[in-house]
Structure 1
C-alpha cells in the first residue's frame, strides 16, 4: 500500500528555502516540488509509462508562475490521459511538434533567418504583412496540411480591400515560407505555385518623379519656400543633394556623419543590399547639416520625429510635405529624388553610368564580377556630387537658363 503523503500548503510552497543540494517536497498523487540550490522551484509529476511501466517525470511548470492549485489541476489532467492509456509525455511532445510546424512558427523561423540580411524598413513591412494578413487566418494550422484554396482565401481577403499590390506581396511571402518548409522537411510542396494567375493582375509601378530640369528648378524653389518644421525643411533640402533611399536618409545618425571631412558613412545594416556606402557631402549639404546640428545634434538622429528625439522622422513626413507643396503622389515622391539624379547626371551632365549607379547603391560590379566597396570611385564620386550640387543651385536661381553640361568623371 502506498505511503500516505500529507498535501502541501500554499505557505509551505512559498516558504521552501534552497539548500546545498536539490530536494523534493511531495504533495501526493505523484506531484512534488523540486527546490533547486539557486532558489528555483519546479513542479514535477512522477508516473509510470503505460507501455513499459518505467518511471518518468513530467514538468508542470515553475513556481510562482504555476501555483499549487494550478499544478494539481495539471497533474489531474495528466492522470486522465494516463487512465486512457496515453502517455502524457508523448502527448506533450506531439503537441509541441504540431506547434513547431504551424504556418506561423515556420514563417517566423524563416523571417528570423533572413531578416538580418534585409534593410530594417523592408523587414518591418514583411513581418507586419504576415501578422496582419496571414497569421490570423492560417497561422495556427499545420503547414503541411494547408492547400492552395486555404492560401487563396487569405489573398482574397486582402484583395477585397482593394489592396492588389499587397495581395501579390503576401502571395510572394507565403511562397517563400512554403519553400523554406519544404527545405526543412515540414512540407512536401509549395502550394502557392498553383495560385499563379488567380489574383487580379498587377505590375510594379515606378516611383513618381520629375526629371525635366526646369520642373526640378520649380521643385527646389518650392522646397526653399516650405514653411513646415525646421527638421522637415532640412531633410527636404538635403534629399536632392544626396539622393539616397528615403529610409536611409530619415534614419541618418550624427555618429555616421563627419562634417569636417564632408562624408556620410552609412553602415551595412541600414542599406538595402547590406553593403556599407560612403556618401560624399558637397559643401551645400554640409552647410545644411551644420545649420541643423545645434537643434538635433545632442540626440542620436539627424532628423528626429516631431514627438520624440528617440525615433527618426516618420516615413510619411517627406511625402506629406510634398503634398502640402502641391506635388501629388502621381507627380513627385520622396523616392523620386533618386530618379531626378539618375536621369540628369547621365543625360544632362554626362557622368559615367557605373559611377552614378554606385552612388545610388545599386548592385554594381567591377570587371571581375566583384561588388564595388564603399570607397570605390571616391574621387570621381566626390567630383560628381560637387558638380551636382552646383547644378542644382543653377536650376534654383536661373530657371530660364538650363544648360546641358557634358562632363565626364
Structure 2
C-alpha cells in the first residue's frame, strides 16, 4: 500500500461500509438492476434513488462514487485535508439523489481539460472537479430522457457535461468574491448560474422539465442504525488520531467558519470528532421535526458532516437552523414537507454569518434562506443539485453589505 493510499484508509473503510450495507439490505440481482435504473433515469431535483429503485442500489452507488473519487485523489497524490474530506462526503451524500457512477465523469473530464488549457496541474482543480458534479443531472437529462434523438443523445449529454466542467473553474473563482466566503456551498452558486443559463436556453426552444419529487419513507429505523454507526466511527477515528483525547474539539467553535477554514489542518483528529458530532446532531434533528431518513435527507446530513472539517460546528449552525425552522413553522409551507426539511438542513451553508456576526444575524440568515431557496429551483429546472448553494449565495450577497453597514464595528467582534 502506497503512502498516499494509507492516508485514506479510514475513508476507504467507511465507504466500503456503504456497499456492505447495501448488500445486506438487498440481493445482488436487485442491486445490479437498481444501478442500471439509477444511471438511465432522470435525476433532477428531487430524485431520491431509494424511492426510484432498490434501497441497496442507492447505498452501493454512493459507496462506488465515493471510492472512485478517493482513487482519483490517491492517483493525484492529494494529501487529505479539510477540503478533501468535505468534497468526498458531499459526493457520498449527493450520490443518494442525483450523482451516479456514470454522470459525474464528463464534468470531471471537463475540468481536467480546463487545467490542461491553462497549463496547470489538474491537482489545482481537483476539488472543483469533484464538487462541480453538482451539475451531473444535466448529463443524464440530455442523454437518457428523450429530449434529443436517441442516436445522438448520449453523445450530447457527455459533451454538455464536458463543456460545463470546462467553464466552471473561472466562474467558481469569481463567485467567491461575490459572497466573500460567507456561503460555504460556493460551487452551488456558480453551478446555479450555469444551470439557469442552460435552462433559459432550453425554455427558449420550448424544452422544459416537469417538477419532480421522489421521496422515500418508512426506513427510519434501519437507516438510523447505519448512520449512528458511521458517525460514532468518525468520532472514534478522531479520538485516536487526536492522541486518544477530545482536545481542541471546543477550539473549533471559536472559528467563524468563513471560507477558507480548514479544521483538519488546524486541529487534526478533532475535525473528525466534530464531523461525527454534527452527523449525530443533524440526524436527530431530521427525526425531531418529523422528517424521513432517505436519499435527500441523508445527502443533507452528509453535507453537514463533510463541512464539519471545513467550516461548520454546532455553535455556528444552530442559529441558522433556528431561523430556518422558524420560517418553516410560521410560513405557508409545512415544516415536514420535503422541500422545507431539505432547506433547513442545507441552510447551514450560511453558518459563517452566524460565526462572524452572532446569533441574531444567523437566525435572520436562516429564515431568509428558506424563503429564497423555495423559489430558486425553478430557475435551473432542478439541474443544479446544490440548489441551496445558489440560494445561500444570494442571501450572503444581499445580507453581508447590509450587516456591515449596520455594524460598522463588526471587525472588532469577529471570531477567528
TM range (shorter): under 0.3
Structure with greater helix share of residues: 2
Structure with greater strand share of residues: 1
Q: TM-score, normalised by structure 1?
A: 0.22
Question: Larger C-alpha radius of gyration, 1 or 2?
Answer: 1
Which structure exhibits the higher relative contact order, with contacts defined as CA atoms closer than 8 Å and separated by 6 or more residues? 2
